[in-house]
Amino acid sequence: MTEIDPQHLIDLTQKLVRLPSEPGQERQVSELLLQEMSSLGFDQVWMDEYGSVVGVVHGNHPGPTLLLDGHIDTVGVAPGLPWEHPPFAAEIEADKLYGRGATDMKGPLAAMILAAASLSRSQIHGVIVVSASVMEEVLEGAALQAVIEVVKPDLVLIGEPSDLKLVHGGRGRAEIRLVAIGRPSHSSAPQLGINAVQAILPAIQKIESLPLPAHPVVGRAILALTDIISEPYPGHSVIPSRCRATYDRRLIPGESRASVLAQLSDLPTLPGASLQATIALGEYQTFTGKMLKREKWFPAWLLEKSHPFVEAASLGLERAGLPVVYGTYNFCTNAAYSIGVLGIPTIGFGPSPEGLAHIVDEYIEIDQLVKAAHGYQGVIASALEPH
């Protein structure tokens, strides 16, 4: 194992932050990482058909395949909101590196890449894979699925920000569409139609009072209204005949599509109107031109602390000189696919608290960035040593 150069880690993070990379616009970052991982001596480096970049380090001894994943897309920068530090300047002030994606999650990804490259192949019993995946902000796990199908990992580490906690569970996410169908009429004679907006309002009011389940480790489920759209829009002299409300439903372990939708199966509406709740379908084009399409159902997950992977990661963090503090993700990550769908043992570990993601003047503390790189070294080494 070679020592990670903190300045190299800072420089790489700055290079990544300076390249805007909203979903579908990650090409520059992918091309940079192709060059970076190749120059660091990864045995294999490629860009897949969706634009994700994959680097592989083969150990000298047989063993499991450990996949470390970090997404390269970021949320956008809303116009009109003042940033004290420009979002793509990657400025450093008071030991903080500022910029969109610094925490979520270009800093963590840089740390994973340098950690993987630093380990001696003679000490590795297995294979290290680092994936820099695209489109996570819109379809968690969709691009990672393509990587997993090729590299077939036995273990997965998600590098999302965790404030250096060892994460062994996380909430999932579902996007729910609630659609009311009424009957159009001229707005000069509204009594001849059924206003779909008014038809959906009783259901929305009812939803606000619905009890939601809780999990003793992952926390409480959430159901948040995120938009309401009526059709036709604009409504020129016409009573709207369709209204769609979108809900963000944060999932906890054990929930199913059927159980979530059953809670929304008997909502009130106006006489003569119809109402239906479904899981939304997401379809997005990657920068390579390929389409990612899937139902927006991303399961919650939990791996017990007694699982051998969690125990190995704990040992690795201790060897790296870091305290072991357990936690869970409040938000949804690519782990929703790796363990939530496939059941591959998965953990999370990364620098920065979750609350620094997506904010104005997003930043990462350089001290946490460096500690995370050491933590990744420890976890990889411990997970890929003979047990």
193-232 tens-digit pLDDT: 999 999 999 999 999 999 999 999 999 999 999 999 999 9
Same domain, 226 and 244: yes
Q: What is the mean pLDDT of the chain?
A: 97
- Dig out the tokens for 46 from the structure: 């490629």
Backbone angles phi, psi at 224, to 5 degrees: -120, 130
Q: What is the pLDDT of residues 339-354, one digit of tens each?
A: 999 999 999 999 999 9
Same domain, 279 and 228: yes
- Which domain CATH number covers 228? 3.30.70.360
The whole model's pTM is what? Answer: 0.95
Q: What is the pLDDT of residues 161-170, one digit of tens each?
A: 999 999 999 9
Q: What is the pLDDT of residues 15-48, one digit of tens each?
A: 999 999 999 999 999 999 999 999 999 999 999 9
Residue 124: how many other CB atoms lie within 10 Å: 22
The whole-number pLDDT of residue 81 equals 84
Calculate the alpha carbon distances from 339 to 138, 145, 302 in Å.
19, 11, 8
Q: Is 1's pLDDT higher than 80? A: no
User: Quick one: DSSP state of residue 149?
Assistant: H
- Dig out the tokens for 49 from the structure: 């058909």
Total domains in the fold of the chain: 2
The whole-number pLDDT of residue 2 equals 86
Same domain, 353 and 219: no
**CA torsion through residues 321, 100, 328, 132, sign:** negative
- Which domain CATH number covers 78? 3.40.630.10
Tell me, what amino acid is at 96?
A: K
Same domain, 235 and 133: no
Q: What is the pLDDT of residues 236-283, one digit of tens each?
A: 999 999 999 999 999 999 999 999 999 999 999 999 999 999 999 999
Those residues with Cβ within 8 angstroms of residue 378's Cβ, 6 or more apart along the chain or in another chain: 315, 316, 317, 318, 319, 320, 322
Same domain, 249 and 163: no
Q: What is the pLDDT of residues 59-107, one digit of tens each?
A: 999 999 999 999 999 999 988 889 999 999 999 999 999 999 999 999 9
Same domain, 44 and 161: yes
Closest CA to 269 of 377, 195, 208: 195
Same domain, 231 and 349: no
Identify whether 292 is part of a domain: no
296 contacts 318 by C-beta, under 8 angstroms = no
Q: Which domain holds residue 108?
A: 6-171+300-383
pLDDT band at 312 (very low <50, low <70, confident <90, very high): very high
Closest CA to 349 of 303, 281, 385: 303
The whole-number pLDDT of residue 386 equals 85
